[in-house]
Chains A and B, each alone.
Chain A
């Protein structure tokens, strides 16, 4: 009788009690994950231009899984749980999740997107100590600096634009555009993407970047700079007339063509090398992009930036910062760069160690190179941030390559577009 009287309030409030108990229990599980390790949710952006395949993200997921295993050994207290999103929809997804308090602890994006996310209040600016800043290449840090001087995230790696070729079809990759043209005349099939970002490397070979940089600054390009831009346009037009230089709309199509043997040489990104290696194995050749008469190619880089999510608890934030610190240490930088061979370290000390062991294409990527390509990155990030401008430029390039737009007209149009939309 007494017992039943004591139990009555419990019975009456069984739903709230059950709710509290289950929340506490689940909370406990979530916190410790059974082995006192903390789970960090990671949102990773993937470039849709490179992923238009039925099994998109498959390669990234595989690498992610492998990385999780590797990390478990070095950081047993941290368990990563990555979710991959197309670059275009990352922002939208983060808004929904962050507003609910369910935002990721870490966001992996490129420098432009990281800057955008911090402006939108979807990630927290990061404070790096002087020691930590010394571990990172200053040029890379500059690229993630916001207008207020804070950092949108921590650069961890950088992806380069390279030339990928099939060694069975092509003994040696062309080092100049002239060699490229000659090889195409002899039956080697070359593939490029009609995207401005993916074609930007060839601007350097003509010295055409200056005209665009001037336009971006709102000024009128000099006659010489304009002439060099027109020259680049002429080269594009002439290439499109060649039977063995093929232009396709995205990187995924290009990669597929190389794997299937329909193309022998393509412009590629180091981030996609694992997929190509898996398919072509030892036949995959990597080389720097060809230079022109004016100068060397100016491939742009994509910086991999790790940013802090907005909703993390104190413990999750501490673990995230701990991980960020670990990721820029020379050991991690060297180990992961050599293991996956797809990105270049941002830690100068590690870069020095790995540059000799990385494939041919990476070798050319030195410190000087990093400074040299900054102009290209500025132009490309300005275009990236303006989808309408990006669409207009793509349309101009398409008209030049596939339709009857003259190089002279296309050069003027491009300058005007960049100047107006700056």
Chain B
């Protein structure tokens, strides 16, 4: 049975299906069924907690009680062996289960030896995948011949016959390359730091570049291993170009953007960018998207790489990291602007995170309705500190103004009810006041949309 996908790629799952169906013939055998049923029963009992409940909590800790199921299977296999029945399946499943359950005690042991040991990473990236691979191969070996299945042709890619074994090895190899590529890349980046004095911040970008190189070389190596040669690569490239045109344009665009950005060095891990007015730190430059952490609320932002490539972005770390920020404050008209300006400069200068150079400066920026407005401008070395420094300076300004009797005026509003239409007496009263409202006191209408007299 061959399902034709196109004239270049053919997939024939018939051989695998036939191999898998042949495994079902084992179910004709009573001894196999008996073993499988026993495994199923023990697993169901374990799942429903029957096994654990039967053992007193105080007697055995939890991580030992989870081993009851597999041990029960192993004991049953020994019993089967004694009575002369086939026992290997029970032992296989027992050992498989026991091995899986032993991860937890193993982790505990490793952590007790060294608390800093990256146990979780080791477990998820190495131990469990290796376990799954070993379990799969041993299972196939038990059911038939691993070589038989490995030599089963499943697809034909540009004239190259891909067997199941080659595909399996290729998947494992790609996984290993993807997982382990960071190690040599980190080493190379570190080496370039030592040898050529590359700064730590640039090293992270370099590391990513090395990693991509290792992955690309690895994937080409795997492709050659499975038999895809130069001609096939050209055919794949031809196919991909059509694919890129239609379906995967965005993915490729993001990937190319990430490579370009790395070379350009404008978006590197550790950079600080303004995204919608918020400073964000670049955490990771991925293949598709850049991961940023927003300083304001710690939110993780995932922004497609091509956004940085095609749209403008504000960086505070592209060439130098310092950032200028300002605080606007108003003081009453009574006070001499020179004094205020000097005071503001002093306050800003005294903050320990404000840079001495470029110097602090303060300006009168507006004669506003109720106050003279000033702006004090200062530089900080870390853009993420600007928000905090601004807050500190505002607090100090309030305290200093309070001490020195400088008032910060603000508009005040009085609300009083008014008759409408106004009686003659009231109208005369307001007219007698000169028609001018005291500063900051404005009448507010209640229950009407019409303009007050004073504005009319």
By a beta-carbon cutoff of 8 Å, the part of chain A in contact with chain B is: 15-16, 19-20, 23, 26-27, 29-31, 33, 38-41, 43, 57-58, 61, 81-85, 93, 96-102, 311-313, 315-316
Contacts and interface: CB of A to CB of B under 8 A. Distances in A.
B308 interface: no
Contacts of A31: 25, 27-28
Given A20-B37, A97-B88, A101-B29, 10 more contacts: A15-B48, A23-B40, A27-B27, A27-B33, A30-B23, A33-B24, A39-B25, A40-B25, A93-B141, A311-B31
A97 B144 CA distance: 8
B89 interface: yes
Given A27-B24, A39-B21, A312 B86 contact: no
B142 A33 contact: no
B26 A85 contact: no
Contacts of B307: none
A83 B144 contact: yes
B88 A311 contact: no
Given A15-B44, A19-B40, A61-B151, A101 B145 contact: no
Nearest to A12: B48
Contacts of A99: 86-88
Interface string B122-150: 00000000000000000001111101100
Contacts of A315: 28
A42 to B, nearest CB: 10
Contact of A30 (B27, B37, B141): B27
Given A30-B24, A85-B147, A16 B44 contact: yes
Contacts of A81: 18-19, 22, 25, 144
Given A101-B35, A101-B86, A102-B32, A96 B25 contact: no
Nearest to A98: B86
B148 A38 contact: no
B399 interface: no
Instruction: Give the interface SS of chain A, mostly helix, strand, loop or mixed.
Output: helix
A36 B142 CA distance: 26
Contacts of B151: 57-58, 61
Interface string B148-179: 10010000000000000000000000000000
Interface of B: 18-19, 21-33, 35-37, 40-41, 44, 47-48, 85-89, 91-92, 141-145, 147-148, 151
25 contacts: A16-B41, A16-B44, A23-B40, A26-B24, A30-B21, A31-B28, A41-B144, A43-B145, A61-B151, A81-B25, A85-B145, A100-B35, A100-B87, A100-B88, A100-B91, A100-B92, A100-B142, A101-B26, A101-B29, A101-B31, A101-B35, A102-B143, A311-B32, A311-B86, A313-B28
A156 B51 CA distance: 53
A76 to B, nearest CB: 16
Given A39-B22, A101-B88, A311 B142 contact: no
A78 B416 CA distance: 103
Contacts of B23: 30
Contact of B25 (A57, A97, A316): A316
A26 B144 contact: no
Contacts of A38: 25, 28
Given A41-B22, A101-B31, A83 B145 contact: yes
B232 to A, nearest CB: 18
Given A26-B24, A316-B25, A16 B40 contact: yes
Contacts of A16: 40-41, 44
A80 to B, nearest CB: 9
B33 A93 contact: no
Given A15-B47, A311-B86, A101 B32 contact: yes
A23 B36 contact: yes
Contacts of A39: 21-22, 24-25
A82 B30 CA distance: 22
A31 B31 CA distance: 15
Contacts of B87: 99-100
Give the 9 A-B residue pairs with the shortest CB-CB distance, closest first: A100-B88, A30-B24, A101-B86, A83-B145, A39-B25, A27-B27, A99-B88, A81-B22, A101-B31
A20 B36 CA distance: 10
B210 to A, nearest CB: 33
A100 B89 contact: yes
B29 A313 contact: yes
Contacts of B142: 96-97, 100, 102
Contacts of B88: 96-97, 99-102
A39 B37 CA distance: 22
Nearest to A58: B151
A100 B36 CA distance: 11
A87 B441 CA distance: 106
A30 B145 contact: no
Contacts of A96: 88, 141-142
Given A61-B151, A96-B141, A100-B89, A311 B37 contact: no
B166 to A, nearest CB: 11
Contacts of A313: 28-30
Contacts of B18: 81
A49 to B, nearest CB: 17
A102 B148 contact: no
Contact of A311 (B22, B29, B144): B29
Given A23-B36, A96-B142, A102 B22 contact: no
B152 to A, nearest CB: 9
A33 B144 contact: no
Q: Which of B37, B86, B92 has the largest count of A CB atoms less than 10 A from its CB?
A: B86
Given A16-B40, A19-B44, A83-B148, A101 B89 contact: yes
A15 B40 CA distance: 9
A145 to B, nearest CB: 27
B194 to A, nearest CB: 43
A156 B220 CA distance: 48
B355 to A, nearest CB: 68
B40 A30 contact: no
A409 B349 CA distance: 103
Given A101-B89, A102-B88, A41 B25 contact: yes
A405 B103 CA distance: 58
**Which of B19, B21, B30, B92 has the most CB atoms of chain A within a 10 A radius of its CB?**
B21
A243 B265 CA distance: 67
Contact of A102 (B21, B26, B40): B26
A37 to B, nearest CB: 10
